Amino acid sequence: MGLRPSTVTGQSPHMVLGLESSCDETAAAIVVRHADGRGEVLSNVVRSQIDEHRAYGGVVPELAARAHVVHMDHIISRALDEAGVSLGDLDGIAATAGPGLIGGVLVGLTIGKALSAATGKPLIAVNHLEGHALTARLTDGVNFPYLMLLVSGGHTQFVLVEGVGRYKKLGGTIDDALGEAFDKVAKMLGLGYPGGPEVERQAMGGDAARFDFPKPLLGEDRLDFSFSGLKTAVRLAAERVAPVSDQDIADVCASFQATVAEIIARRSAQALEVLQANNKALVIAGGVAANKAIGSALREVAQEAGARLVVPPPALCTDNGVMVAWAGLERLALGHVDGLDFTARARWPLDSDDMRVRHG
Protein backbone atom coordinates (compact mmCIF):
# COMPACT_ATOMS: atom_id res chain seq x y z
CA MET A 1 0.00 0.00 0.00
CA GLY A 2 3.03 2.31 0.10
CA LEU A 3 4.28 4.67 -2.57
CA ARG A 4 5.87 3.21 -5.65
CA PRO A 5 7.88 5.05 -8.32
CA SER A 6 5.91 6.72 -11.07
CA THR A 7 6.61 5.88 -14.69
CA VAL A 8 5.77 9.44 -15.80
CA THR A 9 8.30 11.34 -13.68
CA GLY A 10 9.91 14.18 -15.58
CA GLN A 11 7.17 14.47 -18.20
CA SER A 12 5.47 17.88 -18.28
CA PRO A 13 2.85 19.07 -18.39
CA HIS A 14 0.87 16.45 -16.49
CA MET A 15 -2.91 16.04 -16.66
CA VAL A 16 -4.92 14.28 -13.94
CA LEU A 17 -8.54 13.35 -13.34
CA GLY A 18 -9.57 13.97 -9.72
CA LEU A 19 -12.49 12.14 -8.06
CA GLU A 20 -14.11 13.25 -4.79
CA SER A 21 -16.81 11.34 -2.91
CA SER A 22 -15.92 11.58 0.77
CA CYS A 23 -19.19 13.15 1.90
CA ASP A 24 -22.19 14.57 0.04
CA GLU A 25 -20.61 16.01 -3.12
CA THR A 26 -20.00 13.81 -6.14
CA ALA A 27 -17.22 15.54 -8.03
CA ALA A 28 -14.75 15.11 -10.86
CA ALA A 29 -12.28 17.52 -12.43
CA ILE A 30 -9.48 17.67 -14.97
CA VAL A 31 -6.46 19.73 -13.97
CA VAL A 32 -3.11 20.30 -15.70
CA ARG A 33 0.18 21.10 -13.99
CA HIS A 34 2.59 22.86 -16.33
CA ALA A 35 6.36 22.52 -16.31
CA ASP A 36 6.75 25.76 -14.34
CA GLY A 37 4.46 24.44 -11.59
CA ARG A 38 1.48 26.51 -12.66
CA GLY A 39 -1.90 24.80 -12.53
CA GLU A 40 -4.76 25.04 -15.00
CA VAL A 41 -8.31 23.83 -14.34
CA LEU A 42 -9.86 22.39 -17.50
CA SER A 43 -13.12 21.27 -15.89
CA ASN A 44 -14.76 21.15 -12.48
CA VAL A 45 -18.05 19.26 -12.14
CA VAL A 46 -19.76 18.97 -8.75
CA ARG A 47 -23.13 17.46 -7.93
CA SER A 48 -24.38 18.43 -4.49
CA GLN A 49 -26.66 16.08 -2.55
CA ILE A 50 -28.26 18.78 -0.40
CA ASP A 51 -31.75 18.02 -1.69
CA GLU A 52 -31.42 14.32 -0.80
CA HIS A 53 -30.39 15.08 2.78
CA ARG A 54 -32.38 18.23 3.58
CA ALA A 55 -35.36 16.34 5.00
CA TYR A 56 -33.06 14.66 7.54
CA GLY A 57 -31.27 17.83 8.64
CA GLY A 58 -27.87 16.27 7.92
CA VAL A 59 -25.98 13.85 5.74
CA VAL A 60 -27.24 10.26 5.78
CA PRO A 61 -24.18 8.10 4.95
CA GLU A 62 -26.08 5.32 3.14
CA LEU A 63 -27.98 7.78 0.94
CA ALA A 64 -24.75 9.60 0.15
CA ALA A 65 -22.98 6.41 -0.93
CA ARG A 66 -25.88 5.36 -3.15
CA ALA A 67 -25.96 8.76 -4.83
CA HIS A 68 -22.23 8.51 -5.58
CA VAL A 69 -22.81 5.11 -7.20
CA VAL A 70 -25.63 6.48 -9.33
CA HIS A 71 -24.01 9.71 -10.47
CA MET A 72 -20.20 9.33 -10.50
CA ASP A 73 -19.95 7.85 -14.00
CA HIS A 74 -21.99 10.71 -15.46
CA ILE A 75 -19.97 13.30 -13.53
CA ILE A 76 -16.72 11.86 -14.89
CA SER A 77 -18.06 11.90 -18.45
CA ARG A 78 -19.08 15.56 -18.06
CA ALA A 79 -15.66 16.47 -16.70
CA LEU A 80 -13.91 14.82 -19.64
CA ASP A 81 -16.29 16.40 -22.16
CA GLU A 82 -15.96 19.90 -20.70
CA ALA A 83 -12.18 19.58 -20.71
CA GLY A 84 -12.22 18.26 -24.28
CA VAL A 85 -10.02 15.28 -23.41
CA SER A 86 -10.28 11.51 -23.21
CA LEU A 87 -9.10 9.04 -20.60
CA GLY A 88 -6.17 8.24 -22.87
CA ASP A 89 -4.91 11.82 -22.60
CA LEU A 90 -4.49 11.58 -18.85
CA ASP A 91 -1.27 11.01 -16.94
CA GLY A 92 -2.97 9.77 -13.81
CA ILE A 93 -6.17 9.09 -11.89
CA ALA A 94 -6.44 10.73 -8.44
CA ALA A 95 -9.18 9.67 -6.06
CA THR A 96 -9.96 10.57 -2.47
CA ALA A 97 -9.05 7.55 -0.33
CA GLY A 98 -10.08 9.12 2.99
CA PRO A 99 -10.89 10.46 5.46
CA GLY A 100 -14.65 10.61 5.18
CA LEU A 101 -17.82 8.55 5.16
CA ILE A 102 -16.39 5.16 4.31
CA GLY A 103 -19.19 4.14 1.94
CA GLY A 104 -18.68 7.20 -0.21
CA VAL A 105 -14.90 6.97 -0.09
CA LEU A 106 -15.11 3.36 -1.27
CA VAL A 107 -17.21 4.37 -4.27
CA GLY A 108 -14.81 7.02 -5.56
CA LEU A 109 -11.66 5.04 -4.82
CA THR A 110 -13.02 1.86 -6.42
CA ILE A 111 -13.97 3.75 -9.57
CA GLY A 112 -10.53 5.36 -9.59
CA LYS A 113 -8.88 1.96 -9.30
CA ALA A 114 -11.05 0.58 -12.11
CA LEU A 115 -10.11 3.45 -14.41
CA SER A 116 -6.45 3.03 -13.52
CA ALA A 117 -6.55 -0.68 -14.25
CA ALA A 118 -8.49 -0.23 -17.50
CA THR A 119 -6.30 2.57 -18.89
CA GLY A 120 -2.92 1.68 -17.42
CA LYS A 121 -2.71 5.18 -15.93
CA PRO A 122 -1.19 5.41 -12.44
CA LEU A 123 -3.45 5.75 -9.40
CA ILE A 124 -2.84 8.47 -6.84
CA ALA A 125 -4.72 7.84 -3.59
CA VAL A 126 -5.32 11.29 -2.13
CA ASN A 127 -5.88 12.32 1.45
CA HIS A 128 -8.95 14.58 1.34
CA LEU A 129 -7.32 16.94 3.84
CA GLU A 130 -4.19 17.19 1.69
CA GLY A 131 -6.45 18.30 -1.15
CA HIS A 132 -7.65 21.20 1.00
CA ALA A 133 -4.13 21.90 2.22
CA LEU A 134 -2.58 22.24 -1.25
CA THR A 135 -5.39 24.10 -3.07
CA ALA A 136 -3.85 27.49 -2.26
CA ARG A 137 -0.77 26.51 -4.25
CA LEU A 138 -2.99 26.06 -7.29
CA THR A 139 -5.06 29.22 -6.83
CA ASP A 140 -2.52 31.61 -5.34
CA GLY A 141 0.92 30.08 -5.86
CA VAL A 142 1.64 29.96 -2.11
CA ASN A 143 5.13 28.74 -1.26
CA PHE A 144 5.99 26.34 1.55
CA PRO A 145 5.87 26.62 4.51
CA TYR A 146 2.49 28.12 5.41
CA LEU A 147 -0.20 27.81 8.04
CA MET A 148 -3.56 26.28 7.11
CA LEU A 149 -6.76 26.70 9.09
CA LEU A 150 -9.18 24.03 7.94
CA VAL A 151 -12.76 24.82 8.98
CA SER A 152 -15.48 22.55 7.62
CA GLY A 153 -18.37 20.33 8.62
CA GLY A 154 -16.06 17.53 9.67
CA HIS A 155 -12.75 19.21 10.52
CA THR A 156 -11.40 22.19 12.43
CA GLN A 157 -7.63 22.27 12.79
CA PHE A 158 -4.41 24.23 12.34
CA VAL A 159 -1.83 22.51 10.15
CA LEU A 160 1.70 23.65 9.39
CA VAL A 161 2.16 22.79 5.71
CA GLU A 162 5.87 22.23 5.21
CA GLY A 163 5.75 20.42 1.86
CA VAL A 164 3.85 17.79 -0.08
CA GLY A 165 3.28 14.96 2.38
CA ARG A 166 4.88 16.96 5.21
CA TYR A 167 2.27 18.23 7.68
CA LYS A 168 2.33 19.08 11.36
CA LYS A 169 -0.93 19.49 13.22
CA LEU A 170 -0.71 22.35 15.71
CA GLY A 171 -4.18 22.04 17.20
CA GLY A 172 -7.76 21.06 16.48
CA THR A 173 -11.21 20.65 17.92
CA ILE A 174 -11.62 18.31 20.88
CA ASP A 175 -15.33 17.81 20.15
CA ASP A 176 -17.53 19.34 17.41
CA ALA A 177 -16.09 20.65 14.17
CA LEU A 178 -17.08 24.26 13.52
CA GLY A 179 -19.28 23.47 10.52
CA GLU A 180 -21.03 20.82 12.60
CA ALA A 181 -21.64 23.39 15.36
CA PHE A 182 -23.18 25.80 12.84
CA ASP A 183 -25.47 23.04 11.56
CA LYS A 184 -26.54 22.02 15.07
CA VAL A 185 -27.29 25.61 16.09
CA ALA A 186 -29.37 26.05 12.95
CA LYS A 187 -31.27 22.84 13.67
CA MET A 188 -32.09 23.76 17.28
CA LEU A 189 -33.39 27.15 16.08
CA GLY A 190 -35.56 25.56 13.41
CA LEU A 191 -33.57 26.96 10.49
CA GLY A 192 -32.97 25.22 7.16
CA TYR A 193 -30.20 22.91 6.00
CA PRO A 194 -27.30 23.37 5.45
CA GLY A 195 -27.10 25.37 8.65
CA GLY A 196 -24.02 27.53 8.12
CA PRO A 197 -25.44 29.81 5.43
CA GLU A 198 -28.77 30.05 7.31
CA VAL A 199 -27.10 31.12 10.55
CA GLU A 200 -25.03 33.70 8.67
CA ARG A 201 -28.13 35.04 6.91
CA GLN A 202 -30.05 35.38 10.17
CA ALA A 203 -27.07 37.00 11.89
CA MET A 204 -27.13 39.90 9.43
CA GLY A 205 -30.27 41.25 11.12
CA GLY A 206 -29.25 40.44 14.69
CA ASP A 207 -27.63 42.11 17.70
CA ALA A 208 -24.29 40.39 18.29
CA ALA A 209 -23.98 41.93 21.75
CA ARG A 210 -27.28 40.64 23.14
CA PHE A 211 -26.02 37.24 24.31
CA ASP A 212 -22.68 36.76 26.05
CA PHE A 213 -21.66 33.25 25.04
CA PRO A 214 -18.62 31.42 26.49
CA LYS A 215 -15.36 31.07 24.61
CA PRO A 216 -14.10 27.61 25.65
CA LEU A 217 -10.35 26.95 25.99
CA LEU A 218 -9.29 30.51 25.13
CA GLY A 219 -7.78 30.88 28.58
CA GLU A 220 -5.47 27.93 27.92
CA ASP A 221 -2.12 28.12 26.15
CA ARG A 222 -2.95 25.68 23.37
CA LEU A 223 -4.20 25.83 19.79
CA ASP A 224 -7.21 23.58 20.30
CA PHE A 225 -10.91 24.40 19.97
CA SER A 226 -14.06 23.29 21.77
CA PHE A 227 -17.52 24.12 20.43
CA SER A 228 -19.73 21.67 22.31
CA GLY A 229 -20.16 23.92 25.35
CA LEU A 230 -20.84 26.93 23.15
CA LYS A 231 -23.53 24.97 21.35
CA THR A 232 -25.11 24.07 24.70
CA ALA A 233 -25.02 27.73 25.75
CA VAL A 234 -26.89 28.66 22.58
CA ARG A 235 -29.58 26.08 23.36
CA LEU A 236 -29.99 27.34 26.92
CA ALA A 237 -30.23 30.94 25.74
CA ALA A 238 -32.94 30.02 23.25
CA GLU A 239 -34.84 28.15 25.96
CA ARG A 240 -34.68 31.17 28.30
CA VAL A 241 -36.39 33.47 25.78
CA ALA A 242 -38.84 30.86 24.43
CA PRO A 243 -41.06 31.11 22.54
CA VAL A 244 -38.43 32.67 20.28
CA SER A 245 -39.35 35.46 17.92
CA ASP A 246 -37.68 36.14 14.58
CA GLN A 247 -35.61 38.84 16.28
CA ASP A 248 -34.58 36.44 19.05
CA ILE A 249 -33.34 33.98 16.43
CA ALA A 250 -31.42 36.72 14.62
CA ASP A 251 -29.81 37.90 17.86
CA VAL A 252 -28.84 34.36 18.90
CA CYS A 253 -27.27 33.74 15.49
CA ALA A 254 -25.43 37.06 15.51
CA SER A 255 -24.08 36.47 19.02
CA PHE A 256 -23.04 32.91 18.20
CA GLN A 257 -21.32 33.94 14.98
CA ALA A 258 -19.49 36.83 16.67
CA THR A 259 -18.30 34.50 19.43
CA VAL A 260 -17.03 31.97 16.92
CA ALA A 261 -15.27 34.67 14.90
CA GLU A 262 -13.48 35.91 18.02
CA ILE A 263 -12.41 32.38 18.98
CA ILE A 264 -11.08 31.67 15.50
CA ALA A 265 -9.32 35.03 15.28
CA ARG A 266 -7.58 34.78 18.65
CA ARG A 267 -6.45 31.22 18.02
CA SER A 268 -5.18 32.18 14.55
CA ALA A 269 -3.12 35.00 16.00
CA GLN A 270 -1.52 32.49 18.36
CA ALA A 271 -0.91 30.01 15.56
CA LEU A 272 0.79 32.59 13.34
CA GLU A 273 3.34 33.17 16.09
CA VAL A 274 4.42 29.53 15.64
CA LEU A 275 5.10 29.97 11.92
CA GLN A 276 8.77 30.71 11.39
CA ALA A 277 8.89 32.16 7.89
CA ASN A 278 9.98 35.40 6.28
CA ASN A 279 6.76 35.69 4.32
CA LYS A 280 4.03 34.35 6.55
CA ALA A 281 0.86 33.05 4.90
CA LEU A 282 -2.39 31.96 6.54
CA VAL A 283 -4.48 29.78 4.24
CA ILE A 284 -8.16 29.20 5.01
CA ALA A 285 -9.80 26.06 3.64
CA GLY A 286 -13.14 24.29 4.05
CA GLY A 287 -16.74 25.35 3.58
CA VAL A 288 -16.84 27.60 6.66
CA ALA A 289 -14.19 29.77 4.99
CA ALA A 290 -17.06 31.35 3.05
CA ASN A 291 -18.45 32.94 6.25
CA LYS A 292 -17.94 36.69 5.89
CA ALA A 293 -17.74 37.49 9.60
CA ILE A 294 -15.02 34.92 10.15
CA GLY A 295 -13.22 36.09 7.02
CA SER A 296 -13.28 39.71 8.19
CA ALA A 297 -11.89 38.77 11.60
CA LEU A 298 -9.09 36.76 10.00
CA ARG A 299 -8.16 39.60 7.67
CA GLU A 300 -7.55 41.80 10.69
CA VAL A 301 -5.46 39.10 12.36
CA ALA A 302 -3.33 38.56 9.25
CA GLN A 303 -2.79 42.29 8.82
CA GLU A 304 -1.67 42.72 12.42
CA ALA A 305 0.70 39.76 12.08
CA GLY A 306 2.13 40.99 8.78
CA ALA A 307 0.91 37.80 7.12
CA ARG A 308 -0.68 37.12 3.79
CA LEU A 309 -4.25 35.81 4.07
CA VAL A 310 -5.19 33.38 1.31
CA VAL A 311 -8.76 32.20 0.82
CA PRO A 312 -9.35 30.18 -2.37
CA PRO A 313 -12.58 30.83 -4.30
CA PRO A 314 -15.65 29.44 -2.48
CA ALA A 315 -16.12 26.68 -5.08
CA LEU A 316 -12.64 25.38 -4.24
CA CYS A 317 -13.05 25.69 -0.45
CA THR A 318 -15.90 23.21 -0.33
CA ASP A 319 -15.37 19.60 -1.46
CA ASN A 320 -14.48 19.33 -5.16
CA GLY A 321 -12.53 17.28 -7.67
CA VAL A 322 -10.08 20.07 -8.47
CA MET A 323 -8.37 19.85 -5.11
CA VAL A 324 -8.05 16.07 -5.47
CA ALA A 325 -6.61 16.36 -8.97
CA TRP A 326 -4.16 19.06 -7.87
CA ALA A 327 -2.97 17.05 -4.87
CA GLY A 328 -2.52 14.14 -7.26
CA LEU A 329 -0.49 16.32 -9.60
CA GLU A 330 1.73 17.59 -6.79
CA ARG A 331 2.46 13.99 -5.77
CA LEU A 332 2.89 12.83 -9.36
CA ALA A 333 5.47 15.56 -9.95
CA LEU A 334 7.51 14.02 -7.13
CA GLY A 335 7.23 10.56 -8.67
CA HIS A 336 4.74 9.16 -6.17
CA VAL A 337 1.81 6.95 -7.14
CA ASP A 338 -0.04 4.13 -5.36
CA GLY A 339 -0.87 0.50 -5.93
CA LEU A 340 -4.35 -0.84 -6.59
CA ASP A 341 -4.27 -2.46 -3.15
CA PHE A 342 -4.51 0.92 -1.42
CA THR A 343 -7.25 0.70 1.23
CA ALA A 344 -9.99 3.26 1.80
CA ARG A 345 -9.77 4.96 5.19
CA ALA A 346 -12.55 6.48 7.29
CA ARG A 347 -9.90 8.24 9.38
CA TRP A 348 -6.62 9.48 7.96
CA PRO A 349 -4.89 12.34 9.81
CA LEU A 350 -2.56 14.52 7.75
CA ASP A 351 -0.08 14.38 10.58
CA SER A 352 0.57 10.66 11.08
CA ASP A 353 1.58 11.32 14.69
CA ASP A 354 -1.81 12.82 15.51
CA MET A 355 -4.33 10.46 17.05
CA ARG A 356 -5.48 12.79 19.82
CA VAL A 357 -8.93 13.96 18.81
CA ARG A 358 -12.07 12.55 17.29
CA HIS A 359 -12.74 15.21 14.67
CA GLY A 360 -9.54 17.21 14.20
Domains 3-136+316-338 and 145-313 alike in fold: yes
**Cα gap 25→21, rounded to integer Å:** 6
Architecture of domain 3-136+316-338: 2-Layer Sandwich (3.30)
How many other C-beta atoms can be found within 10 angstroms of the C-beta atom of residue 91? 22
Interstrand relation of 3-5 and 336-338 (parallel, antiparallel or unpaired): antiparallel
Q: What is the 3-state secondary structure (H, E, C) of the chain?
A: CCEEECCCCCCCCEEEEEEECCCCEEEEEEEEECCCCCEEEEEEEEEECHHHHHHHCCCCHHHHHHHHHHHHHHHHHHHHHHHCCCHHHCCEEEEEEECCCHHHHHHHHHHHHHHHHHHCCCEEEEEHHHHHHHHHHHHHCCCCCEEEEEECCCCEEEEEEEECCEEEEEEEECCCCHHHHHHHHHHHCCCCCCHHHHHHHHHCCCCCCCCCCCCCCCCCCCCCECCHHHHHHHHHHHHHCCCCCHHHHHHHHHHHHHHHHHHHHHHHHHHHHHCCCCCCEEEEECHHHHCHHHHHHHHHHHHHHCCEEECCCHHHHCCCHHHHHHHHHHHHHCCEEECCCCCCCCCCCCCCCCCCCCCC
Residue 359's pLDDT is 38
Question: pLDDT by residue (tens digit) across 329-352?
Answer: 999 999 999 999 999 999 999 987
Identify the pLDDT of residue 1: 29
Can you tell me the mean pLDDT for 133-152?
95
* pTM for the full predicted model: 0.91
> Could you state, in order of their start, the residue ranges of all structural domains in the chain?
3-136+316-338, 145-313
Written as one letter, the residue type at 114 is A
> What pLDDT, in 10s, does the model give residues 221-267?
999 999 999 999 999 999 999 999 999 999 999 999 999 999 999 99
HSE (CB half, 13 Å, CA atoms) of 31?
A: 31
User: Which residues make Cβ contacts (< 8 Å) with residue 23, sequence separation at least 6?
Assistant: 59, 64, 100, 101, 104, 153, 154, 319
Question: 108: which residues sit within 8 A by CB, 6+ positions away?
Answer: 19, 20, 21, 22, 68, 72, 95, 96
What does the pLDDT read at residue 136?
97
Compute φ and ψ for 308, nearest 5 degrees.
Answer: -90, 125
Options 3.40.50.1010, 3.30.420.40, 3.40.50.10860, 3.40.50.720; CATH of 145-313: 3.30.420.40
55 vs 184, more confident: 184
Please state, in angstroms and as integers, the Cα–Cα distance from residue 19 to each residue in 93, 116, 235, 342, following that order.
8, 12, 38, 15
Q: How does strand 123-127 pair with strand 92-98?
A: parallel
With 60 as the cut, is the pLDDT of residue 316 above it? yes
pLDDT at position 358: 37
Q: State how far the Cα of 344 lies from the Cα of 126, in Å rounded to an integer.
A: 10
Q: Reply yes or no on whether the pLDDT at 127 is more than 50.
A: yes
**Does position 12 have pLDDT exceeding 60, yes or no?**
yes
The pLDDT value given to residue 219: 87
State mean pLDDT over 50-59: 86
Q: What percent of the chain has pLDDT over 90?
A: 84
